[in-house]
């Protein structure tokens, strides 16, 4: 049917998830850090070339561990985009730090590296780079500034597993990174995440924080004869059932990426003419970046146009959505953080961005139908 309902997201199942979950049940190891957890972490270590990847129950949890590893004092400041999910800021606010929201680039919608130097104060301790829509931030410039000012670089790579920046994997570009395996991502566990450690000095403490503040990991490796409480921490370890599901996805990660990139490419070509007419702007991917087709969005003129377009699509059984409300204009953002300047690009982007359905199983006919509906509404 040409008018079938097109949800914004449809989680993809490879076909081996239930088999692996049953294997975990048969192993009689349902809690965390079992064989499937170790396989997932080994897969990430190999893909990213990191010092250690640790599965967590969510990307939020990984960010919270990263914030604790940053050894922040109350009143310390963290530079980050306002155009991001609330977890990016919450993780640091929970440690007593203050988010300083900076504007984004007009092309990639990532943090604007050109304004970072001016936003640094004596209290600045880290820069958080969010790789929006799977397109990496300008990491060379960010890393150079961080080295010069002795700041940590933390990648919020929730959307960027499989993306590359100048040939290097996203999540391998900073000191610490966080990944998401939420069902809306490309590779999924239902709920899940990973902490990626690119500096050896963070590994031992991260294991402790992740496991309730205990040295249980050392005990399981036979390095101590009993484990005990040694630091602050919490329960960040995911179930082995989630890890079993996730490993089935990781085995098919390259195929998943290829199929998503095909759908993204159909969208990109189909919207070229509408962009030439000035009705939308398509995503911009710099030539030195390889993205993972996490998302396809269009930018329209203003909030009124966006509201009208989303309503039109949903009336026609196409579930389109908007994205972040800028953190600097939110109630909690004003209470716990501050904006560096007026952030005009963040405000304009937030008002005009429309995310379109993208999932494995969409056909070229589906994409053409979505684009035709957008044309009907915007090119009148």
Read off the pLDDT of residues 343-353 as tens digits, 9 standing for 90 and up: 999 999 999 99
Give pLDDT, residue 1. Answer: 45
38: CB partners within 8 A, 6+ apart: none
The CA distance from 330 to 82, in Å, is: 10
Of residues 217 and 138, which shows the higher confidence score? 138
| Domains of the chain with bracketed CATH | 17-251 (3.40.640.10), 253-378 (3.90.1150.10)
Strands (E), 44-186: 52-56, 77-81, 98-102, 124-130, 152-156, 164-165, 168-169, 176-180
| Least confident residue range of 30-34, 334-338, 348-352, 355-359 | 30-34
Indicate whether 380 pLDDT > 80. no
pTM for this one?
Answer: 0.96
Name the pLDDT band for 2 (thresholds 50, 70, 90). low
Tens digit of pLDDT for each residue in 95-130?
999 999 999 999 999 999 999 999 999 999 999 999
CA angle in degrees (0–180, nearest 5) for 355-85-191:
90
**344: exposed, middle or buried (Cβ count in 10 Å: 0-12, 13-18, 19+):** exposed
Q: State the pLDDT at residue 288.
A: 97
Task: Provide the mean pLDDT of the chain.
Answer: 96
Q: What is the pLDDT of residue 67?
A: 98
Buried b / exposed e over 203-237, threshold 16 CB at 10 Å, is eebbbbbbbbbbbbbbeeeeeeeebeeeeebeebb
User: What whole-number distance in Å separates Cα of residue 122 and Cα of residue 149?
Assistant: 10
To the nearest whole percent, how much of the chain has pLDDT over 90?
94
Supply the pLDDT for residue 226.
85
pLDDT at 347 (0 to 100) = 98
Residue 360 scores a pLDDT above 60: yes
* pLDDT tens for each residue of 185-230: 999 999 999 999 999 999 999 999 999 999 988 887 888 888 899 9
d(Cα 48, Cα 69) in Å, to the nearest integer?
20
For residue 136, what are the contacts with CB-CB under 8 A and spacing of at least 6? 110, 160, 163, 164, 165, 170, 173, 289
310-333 average pLDDT score:
97
Mean pLDDT along residues 57-77: 97
């Amino acid at each position: 049917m040409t008018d079938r309902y097109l949800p914004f997201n449809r989680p993809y199942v490879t076909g081996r998830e239930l088999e692996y979950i049953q294997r975990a049940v048969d192993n009689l190891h349902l809690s965390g850090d079992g064989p499937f957890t170790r396989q997932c972490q080994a897969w990430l270590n190999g893909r990213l070339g990191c010092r250690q990847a640790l599965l967590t129950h969510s990307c939020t949890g990984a960010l919270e561990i990263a914030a604790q590893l940053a050894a922040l004092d109350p009143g310390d400041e963290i530079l980050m985009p306002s155009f991001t999910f609330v977890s990016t800021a919450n993780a640091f606010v929970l440690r007593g730090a203050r988010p300083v929201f900076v504007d984004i680039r007009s092309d990639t919608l990532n943090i604007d590296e050109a304004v970072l130097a001016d936003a640094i104060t004596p209290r600045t301790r880290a820069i958080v780079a969010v790789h929006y829509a799977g397109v990496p931030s300008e990491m060379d410039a960010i890393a150079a500034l961080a080295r010069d000012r002795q700041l940590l670089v933390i990648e919020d790579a929730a959307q960027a597993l499989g993306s590359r920046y100048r040939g290097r994997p996203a999540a391998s570009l900073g000191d610490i990174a966080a990944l998401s395996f939420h069902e809306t991502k490309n590779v999924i566990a239902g709920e899940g995440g990973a902490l990626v450690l690119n500096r050896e000095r963070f590994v031992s403490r991260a294991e402790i924080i992740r496991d309730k503040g205990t040295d249980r990991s050392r005990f399981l490796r036979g390095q101590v004869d009993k484990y005990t409480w040694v630091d602050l921490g919490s329960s960040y370890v995911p179930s082995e059932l989630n890890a079993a599901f996730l490993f089935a996805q990781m085995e098919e990660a390259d195929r998943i990426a290829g199929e998503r990139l095909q759908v993204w490419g159909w969208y990109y070509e189909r919207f070229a003419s509408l962009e030439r007419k000035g009705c939308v702007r398509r995503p911009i991917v710099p030539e030195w970046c390889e993205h993972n087709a996490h998302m396809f969005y269009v930018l329209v003129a203003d909030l009124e146009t966006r509201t009208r377009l989303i309503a039109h699509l949903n009336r026609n059984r196409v579930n389109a959505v908007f994205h972040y409300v800028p953190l600097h204009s939110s109630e909690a953002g004003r209470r716990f953080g501050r904006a560096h300047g007026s952030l005009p690009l963040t405000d304009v982007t937030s008002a005009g961005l429309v995310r379109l359905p993208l999932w494995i199983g969409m056909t070229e006919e589906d994409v053409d139908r979505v684009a035709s509906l957008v044309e009907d509404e915007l090119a009148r």
